[in-house]
A and B are shown apart, each in its own frame.
Chain A
């Protein structure tokens, strides 16, 4: 049941508070965490004179947006709206509506106003929260909220700073919860999540009765006849308030909690009333009903009105006012007595106070309000005159006796809560309470169940009736009163009488009561009348003031005492007592009563019979028995009379005093009320003061802070400031100002004029005066006596509302500034150049349109022919056009825009002068300097010319010089380098250096020589022969010759290779290079050289040469094209075959040219593979088409191998290209053929499969359908045989036998065919199958035959093989069946079954223990068969014998064969006629899939 509904709705929470509410509001929002579906409106009673700080204060306590409500604001979720001061707030169409508050100082009812509109707008989505505050505001509003189904939470008065508003709200009984503010958010969230409206459940009638019983017991209210739906609605509401879902739970709660019973009862009795509710109805009453009633009344008559179910009294007062209004217009002044009754004590209490909240003013016409109410700050109070006309009493119209003889009875909107039975009853009571021609006033929605005979309708819509016939409140009424209850002991009930007897009884009673004037009463020990019978109204009189149905007070005063003592006597004696002939005067007639008093439990029955007494002339009141006619008796009588009259007198006095006391009491009460209302006035005043105080304190705090700030600022600033008031007296000054004006602390309040100052400015006071007069500000630079310069500023002192209340004088020290200024001015003026500062003038778009001169120095004044002072402020364009011409203006603008300074020479048209102009940006403007440079310009010209000449001469010289120098340097450098080089080389090289001096013919050898060849280094230069001798004899001559040749031919380079003997005896290959040096005359005089051992190189060269030769040979000898590719991917070698194949020179393959030979379609793939082979160093092979010598593209296998060095680096690719064209073409042809063939086979296969399926289907269906008729043939022929065999003669009997045999055979045939066809369809799976076990099982089936024929069966151990067990069984069934069937007549059949593993799939394969195949032989000694049939016996329907001899369908072996085939095995049979047969089966041991 627990529904945790998601909240989709928008709930609005109205928070009403006044004094002391701030704290509660903070507490509330501190706890409001989840507010996503809520909006809040805070209505606080605010002073209209002060700006409220509530928005800021609340903001600190919530995450939500807090704003002051504005008119027509749409209420958004998760926001808080605060009522502005001086406004009324209400809500309409989800918008806040503000209205001006009337300024009457009446009590604030802003909360009521808003709650009323909120209740109308949001109904059950409205939540009212009443927080601390004085007064009663909100109390009426929550009534509206509750009435419309909303929720009301009131602050616990104990937590409230001011408990007026919470208490008032709680006392109204409308609070759903009374909580401290912190606990409210939880309850609100709970409420919106647990929707108020529970699904409308049908309450069990019994449960309802139980609840009514509880309420009746606890609260005394009786709801048995109230309309259930209304009650259930209220009940549901209470359930949801307690978060209870089950009625039973609630009943448990009710049992535990009497208070809850009381509250529920109160909820049931919800009172909805208003002044002049349904104005039109009241208009009708005033215009058409009441005048008639009043006219009948004389001055001393009483107009009696009964307002039944008056609730809080509004209606009673409304009618009282109407009557009063009407009475004023007519001469008669009857007394007006209004009884207003209600079941609820609380309502009666409210009604009798006669105090109503201010909001009632919208219900009451202003004139009436003025006239009949006094406004008491927070309430309207009904005037005492009207109040006194009304008696308010607690009265249950159902239980208590009615008031009688009323002129008008009003009972509005009570009947609608009752069920028809009760309505009927109440109507009859109301009717009874009316006098004839009296009027009944019901609510507009009451269903009329009125008795048309006794009532005439005056107004249909407003349900106003006139009583036209007397009615009686007979036993029916009394019966109704008791009907539903257990009759209490001793209480007489008339209900036992049946319907008809009752009528008779009624008639009898009527006669009795009417004619004999008998009335009976039941009274309780307090003389209260509990029930009546008969026309008691004729006998009794209603008491005047106190509405208690005390019998003694209702009997004529004369009889009071007698009756009282009589009753007491009867009680004392506890027996029936009769009082006879009690006389009294009624309307001038002597009336006699006979009273019978019968004490009973718990009530006492009193029967009064009234008769007209005969005038006895004695004037006495008591009957005088004849036997007492004597003087003594008379005397006693007289005494008694006297005593009685004295007693009566005393009684009268007593009553008068009593009444006086009562009226005094009422006066006291009203005095008390007045005191209370003035107390409330005081409280509301106090509340506003409190609010104000809070706000003031905050303001003061702010002010103190501000003051501190100001003081500190004052203290810290250097700017001297003095505040003067309007009279120019000192108000305030700071320390800095003491330097300027000689102020001391005591000067405050003294006029400024009295105080000496240090200002060298005699007009100081005038200036102040001027500021005060004219509002202007005065600003001046003044000098102080101590030489300081200050800027003096005098300003008016303005208040917030712009009132001038004094002046402020401030002095700012500008000495430093002035000083600086003077320096700058001097610097400027001492400068011979003209210096001008300009400010920009801009148009609307910000473009510069002009400049104004801001400053100019003396030189500038001369330059412009104007005095400096005069020039300031001039327009550049207008006044100094000279400086703006010739594009200068644009240049200035550019400088200002860009900030880049400008330095240029300018020439003005007017003269021949040249000026050096410098322009520098300065803020928004620029500074320009103009320096006369005319002479400099001229001199410059001259110098320039001279300089040009000089430069050209200089250039010529320079060139010559340079050439010389270069030469010298070159030489020097060459020499130095050569020297240096030699030295370095000699030291660093491994080569053997030598220096041959031709003149001495000696040679110097470098260190390396000895190292290289292993000779000892001699002490000095060696002879040349030392070297020559070591040269290989074969080379020596040639070397010598070549040397001579070089030297003689005057060449200087010599190179020779030769073999040179090493010390080790080996010859080294030497590369010797020499350089011949010649002297100036060209004679060679010296030779320098180096020997280089190239033995290793030589050897390597030789090896390489042989290698290459070998490879080349290989490459050339192959019938393949071979290329090699360097690591960059370029072909660097192509063999002869390439030339042969392509008919082109091998060079055409080198680099990337080879691509021309590859078919275009294959090229891109090849290139990719090529590149990736280089990248990844991976071999590849590809078939490509290569163009051959005939220009045809042939398929070639292009294979690339990667060669890598030992570090994995790519050395080269070797590519071979093989012609595979022929193979490829052949291949394709073959493949095509294979594909075609495959296709054909597939087609055939498919066809076969389909046909096979068809066949199987056919066989299966055919055998199924064939079986059916066959079975019938068997069945019925069987029946014929079994039942009618005796009726048949021999021949039909034989035929019948034949039929049966044929059909039996056919059955076998069909079964066999079916199982044969089923073989192919079978999807049984292969599993390890024990053949021995299978055969053993099969033999069980042949048990009878074996016994019959005494057959011997020998079975070897047979292997376990992968097979389909069922099919294996079938094989042996067939074979064994055949073996038994075809036995030799007269011979014991002997069947031998053997099995062994064999090496391969063949009948004659040798045995092998672990062979993959298995051979099983089934051998018998039967009739055998001709070997020529050894193949055909496995065909379908192949039979070798007639059916008569051996039965069988000829399918068995076919099935066997088929199973063997399916197991990929072999089967054959070997036999000779008459020699038995042997069946050999070969099966794989493991399943071949």
Chain B
């Protein structure tokens, strides 16, 4: 079975670090790359040669410099090539407004960054459920 490919965008190195640690525990998941903002997501995806090498899940922090999570989501969902990839937005603080906006843009899930390591793992497990068969 192919490992699920995940692309993570977060400008916070700590978060990326924790993300990587948690994902390392998983055997059926592969973190394709971590990038620091939305533009880098797009740059990354652009050079992916074919569809089968595109990530299976894209996780976006909302507060990112240059291009935030919501904008990136908008771009991905308006592009034929990436439309099918589930996108998750997570943010330090997420209110109803953000949840509504992102959901209507096509986000598969919107989450707040948890304060505990355990919660972090639970959150990631939730994300991975989206792409579980």
Chain B residues lying within 8 Å of A1271, measured Cβ to Cβ, are 92, 113, 115
A1261-1283 with Cβ < 8 A to chain B? 1263-1264, 1267-1268, 1270-1272, 1274-1276, 1278-1279, 1282
Chain A residues lying within 8 Å of B118, measured Cβ to Cβ, are 1278, 1282
Evaluate contact between A1282 and B117: CB separation under 8 angstroms.
yes
Partner pick for A1267 among B12, B92, B117, CB 8 A cutoff: B92
Assuming the contacts A1272-B14, A1275-B18, asked whether A1264 and B92 have C-beta atoms less than 8 A apart, the reply is yes
Chain A residues lying within 8 Å of B18, measured Cβ to Cβ, are 1275
Evaluate contact between B115 and A1278: CB separation under 8 angstroms.
yes
Evaluate contact between B120 and A1275: CB separation under 8 angstroms.
yes
Does A1024 make an interface contact (CB < 8 A)?
Answer: no
Does B116 make an interface contact (CB < 8 A)?
Answer: yes
Instruction: Give the secondary structure class of B's interface.
Output: loop
B91: nearest residue on chain A (CB-CB)?
A1264
How far apart are A1278's CB and chain B's nearest CB, in angstroms? 4
CA distance A844 to B81 in the complex (A): 98
A1272: nearest residue on chain B (CB-CB)?
B14
B95: nearest residue on chain A (CB-CB)?
A1318
How far apart are B118's CB and chain A's nearest CB, in angstroms? 7
A1270: nearest residue on chain B (CB-CB)?
B115
B117: nearest residue on chain A (CB-CB)?
A1279
Chain B residues lying within 8 Å of A1267, measured Cβ to Cβ, are 92-93
CA distance A1278 to B18 in the complex (A): 13
Chain B residues lying within 8 Å of A1275, measured Cβ to Cβ, are 14, 18, 114-117, 120
Chain B residues lying within 8 Å of A1307, measured Cβ to Cβ, are 115
Across the A-B interface, how many residue pairs have beta carbons closer than 8 Å?
A: 33
Chain B residues lying within 8 Å of A1278, measured Cβ to Cβ, are 115-118
CA distance A1264 to B115 in the complex (A): 14
Interface size on A, residues (CB 8 A): 16
B106-129 with Cβ < 8 A to chain A? 113-118, 120
Partner pick for A1268 among B92, B95, B116, B120, CB 8 A cutoff: B92
CA distance A1270 to B93 in the complex (A): 12
How far apart are A1290's CB and chain B's nearest CB, in angstroms? 23
Chain B residues lying within 8 Å of A1270, measured Cβ to Cβ, are 115
Evaluate contact between A1274 and B115: CB separation under 8 angstroms.
yes
A1269: nearest residue on chain B (CB-CB)?
B92
CA distance A673 to B95 in the complex (A): 108
CA distance A1276 to B95 in the complex (A): 24
Evaluate contact between B116 and A1264: CB separation under 8 angstroms.
no
Partner pick for A1264 among B12, B93, B114, CB 8 A cutoff: B93
Interface centre among B92, B115, B120 (most CB of A within 10 A): B115
CA distance A1318 to B95 in the complex (A): 11
How far apart are A314's CB and chain B's nearest CB, in angstroms? 67
Evaluate contact between B93 and A1274: CB separation under 8 angstroms.
no
Contact with A along B36-70 (1 / 0, CB 8 A): 00000000000000000000000000010000000
CA distance A1279 to B18 in the complex (A): 10
How far apart are B112's CB and chain A's nearest CB, in angstroms? 9
B63-99 with Cβ < 8 A to chain A? 63, 92-93, 95
Contact with A along B1-35 (1 / 0, CB 8 A): 00000000000101000100000000000000000
A1314: nearest residue on chain B (CB-CB)?
B93
Evaluate contact between B116 and A1274: CB separation under 8 angstroms.
yes
CA distance A1235 to B116 in the complex (A): 59
CA distance A1318 to B93 in the complex (A): 13
Interface residues on B, range: 10 to 19
Chain B residues lying within 8 Å of A1274, measured Cβ to Cβ, are 115-116
A1314-1343 with Cβ < 8 A to chain B? 1314, 1318
A1260: nearest residue on chain B (CB-CB)?
B93
Chain A residues lying within 8 Å of B113, measured Cβ to Cβ, are 1271
How far apart are A1063's CB and chain B's nearest CB, in angstroms? 108
CA distance A1274 to B119 in the complex (A): 11
Interface centre among A1267, A1270, A1307 (most CB of B within 10 A): A1267
CA distance A127 to B88 in the complex (A): 72
A1307: nearest residue on chain B (CB-CB)?
B115
How far apart are A445's CB and chain B's nearest CB, in angstroms? 52
B116: nearest residue on chain A (CB-CB)?
A1278
A1324: nearest residue on chain B (CB-CB)?
B96
How far apart are B47's CB and chain A's nearest CB, in angstroms? 31
Chain A residues lying within 8 Å of B95, measured Cβ to Cβ, are 1318
CA distance A1314 to B98 in the complex (A): 15
Chain B residues lying within 8 Å of A1279, measured Cβ to Cβ, are 117
How far apart are A1256's CB and chain B's nearest CB, in angstroms? 14
How far apart are B115's CB and chain A's nearest CB, in angstroms? 4
A655-669 with Cβ < 8 A to chain B? none
Chain A residues lying within 8 Å of B117, measured Cβ to Cβ, are 1275, 1278-1279, 1282
How far apart are B66's CB and chain A's nearest CB, in angstroms? 18
CA distance A1275 to B12 in the complex (A): 13
A1318: nearest residue on chain B (CB-CB)?
B95
A1366: nearest residue on chain B (CB-CB)?
B96
CA distance A736 to B23 in the complex (A): 136
How far apart are A1279's CB and chain B's nearest CB, in angstroms? 5
Chain B residues lying within 8 Å of A1318, measured Cβ to Cβ, are 95
Chain B residues lying within 8 Å of A1268, measured Cβ to Cβ, are 12, 92
A1273: nearest residue on chain B (CB-CB)?
B115
CA distance A1314 to B120 in the complex (A): 23
CA distance A1307 to B116 in the complex (A): 13
CA distance A784 to B60 in the complex (A): 135
CA distance A1271 to B113 in the complex (A): 8
How far apart are B92's CB and chain A's nearest CB, in angstroms? 5
CA distance A1314 to B96 in the complex (A): 13
A95-141 with Cβ < 8 A to chain B? none
Chain B residues lying within 8 Å of A1264, measured Cβ to Cβ, are 63, 92-93
CA distance A1263 to B92 in the complex (A): 11
A1282: nearest residue on chain B (CB-CB)?
B117
Chain A residues lying within 8 Å of B92, measured Cβ to Cβ, are 1264, 1267-1268, 1271
CA distance A1151 to B119 in the complex (A): 99
CA distance A1272 to B18 in the complex (A): 11
Interface centre among B12, B63, B92, B120 (most CB of A within 10 A): B92
How far apart are B73's CB and chain A's nearest CB, in angstroms? 19
Interface centre among A1271, A1282, A1314, A1318 (most CB of B within 10 A): A1271
How far apart are A1260's CB and chain B's nearest CB, in angstroms? 9
Chain A residues lying within 8 Å of B12, measured Cβ to Cβ, are 1268
Chain A residues lying within 8 Å of B120, measured Cβ to Cβ, are 1275
How far apart are A1455's CB and chain B's nearest CB, in angstroms? 15
CA distance A1314 to B97 in the complex (A): 14
A1315: nearest residue on chain B (CB-CB)?
B95
CA distance A1313 to B92 in the complex (A): 16
CA distance A1270 to B113 in the complex (A): 12
B21: nearest residue on chain A (CB-CB)?
A1279
How far apart are A531's CB and chain B's nearest CB, in angstroms? 60
How far apart are B38's CB and chain A's nearest CB, in angstroms? 19
How far apart are A637's CB and chain B's nearest CB, in angstroms? 96
CA distance A1077 to B120 in the complex (A): 142
Chain B residues lying within 8 Å of A1282, measured Cβ to Cβ, are 117-118
Interface centre among A1267, A1272, A1275, A1318 (most CB of B within 10 A): A1275
How far apart are A1373's CB and chain B's nearest CB, in angstroms? 16
CA distance A1278 to B120 in the complex (A): 11
CA distance A258 to B117 in the complex (A): 87
How far apart are A1214's CB and chain B's nearest CB, in angstroms? 69
Contact with B along A207-243 (1 / 0, CB 8 A): 0000000000000000000000000000000000000
A1280: nearest residue on chain B (CB-CB)?
B117
How far apart are B101's CB and chain A's nearest CB, in angstroms? 14
6 new A-B contacts at CB < 8 Å, known A1267-B92, A1275-B114: A1263-B93, A1267-B93, A1271-B115, A1275-B14, A1275-B116, A1278-B117
14 example contacts (A-B, Cβ-Cβ < 8 A) are as follows A1263-B93, A1264-B63, A1264-B92, A1267-B92, A1267-B93, A1271-B115, A1275-B18, A1275-B116, A1278-B115, A1278-B116, A1278-B117, A1279-B117, A1314-B93, A1318-B95
Closest 6 CB pairs of A and B: A1274-B115, A1278-B116, A1279-B117, A1271-B115, A1268-B92, A1267-B92
